[in-house]
Amino acid sequence: EVQLVESGGGLVKPGGSLRLSCAASGFTFSSYSMNWVRQAPGKGLEWVSSISSSSSYIYYADSVKGRFTISRDNAKNSLYLQMNSLRAEDTAVYYCARYDDYGGRFDYWGQGTLVTVSS
Amino acid sequence: DIQMTQSPSSLSASVGDRVTITCRASQSISSYLNWYQQKPGKAPKLLIYAASSLQSGVPSRFSGSGSGTDFTLTISSLQPEDFATYYCQQSYSTPVTFGQGTRLEIK
């Protein structure tokens, strides 16, 4: 069974940093692109960042470029999101999602971790 | 960036109704269109991929159609568990983008 479990969310002050993790199991992690997608309270879904299976290709939304860094450790079946210079508008539930490159779809999602940026 | 526009933004319907949700892309995306269902407090769930392919385990009352810029998600006979928010998403180009969502409520 595919499982994605996020952790690392919490309350942080504006300008602060946080590192999210996503532990994957039930599939060959090193064969899939992985993504972070966020959802602000009461709002829709916003793609944040993606990383290819071997970390060769990395992309960011303009809203987080230069502040967030995505990475992965295939030996540990883990995905990360380092978030720096956090702003109030980064407040959201952050989901880790597996991306099926062949089908171009987010086929499995974690349960999400809440990041709140507030003074 | 490709903009995805869903209509309606919200919809009231009854159990047993046939419901259609529309998604329009700001440029042609061929069939690179996916549909997700999200219930309150839960992660999105993939329903339809490549515009019309049913994800494994999803009931056959869900169907998708369209190509180019105009797409539809149809639920043939609403069940109580179908009341949720639905999102379309294009995977034609980076950044992937989502529609704003359609909230399906019980009438």
CB contact under 8 A, B49 and A103: yes
Among B10, B39, B97, B98, the strongest candidate for a mutation testing the A interface, having the largest count of A CBs within 10 A, is: B98
Q: Which residues in B8-106 belong to E strands, given as ranges?
A: 10-13, 19-25, 33-38, 45-49, 53-54, 62-67, 70-75, 85-90, 97-98, 102-106
Does A32 have pLDDT greater than 90? yes
Distance between CA A101 and CA B50 in Å, rounded?
12
Residue B71 token pair: 């797409």
The answer to whether the CB of A48 falls within 8 A of the CB of A35 is: yes
Find where tokens 């064969």 sit: A31
d(CA A117, CA A100): 31
> pLDDT tens for residues A75-114?
999 999 999 999 999 999 999 999 998 778 999 999 999 9
pLDDT at A104: 87
Token pair 């086929």: residue: A107
Rg of the Cα atoms in chain A: 13
What is the distance between the alpha carbons of residues A13 and A11, in angstroms, rounded to a whole number?
7
Which 3 state secondary structure label does DSSP give A59?
Answer: strand
Phi, psi (deg, nearest 5) at residue B50? 50, 45
What's the gap between Cα B71 and its chain centre?
9
**HSE on the CB side for B61, CA within 13 Å?**
13
Q: What is the mean pLDDT of residues A25-39?
A: 97
- Residue type at A51 in one-letter notation: I
Please tell me if residue B101 touches chain A, with a CB cutoff of 8 Å.
yes
Residue B32 is predicted with a pLDDT of: 96
Residue with the two structure tokens 């990475």: A71
pLDDT of residue B9: 97
Mean pLDDT (whole number) for A42-55? 97
What phi and psi, each to the nearest 5 degrees, are found at residue A90? -85, -5
Nearest residue on chain B to A94, alpha-carbon basis: B43
The model's pLDDT over A52-80, given as tens digits with 9 standing for 90+, comes to 999 999 999 999 999 999 999 999 999 99
Counting one residue from chain A and one from chain B, the pairs whose CB atoms sit within 8 A come to 57
The arithmetic mean of pLDDT across residues B16-35, rounded, is 97
3-state class percentages of chain B: helix first, strand second, coil last, to nearest 5: 5, 50, 50
Q: Is B18 exposed, middle or buried (0-12, 13-18, 19+ CB in 10 A)?
A: exposed
- Please determine, for residue B30, whether its predicted confidence score (pLDDT) is greater than 90: yes
What pLDDT shows up at residue A102?
78
Residue B107 has pLDDT above 90, yes or no: no
B50 and A CB contact within 8 Å: yes
pLDDT digits (tens, 9 = 90+) for B38-92: 999 999 999 999 999 999 999 999 999 999 999 999 999 999 999 999 999 999 9
Q: Is the pLDDT of residue B33 over 80?
A: yes
Question: How many Å lie between the alpha carbon of A114 and the closest alpha carbon of chain B?
Answer: 11
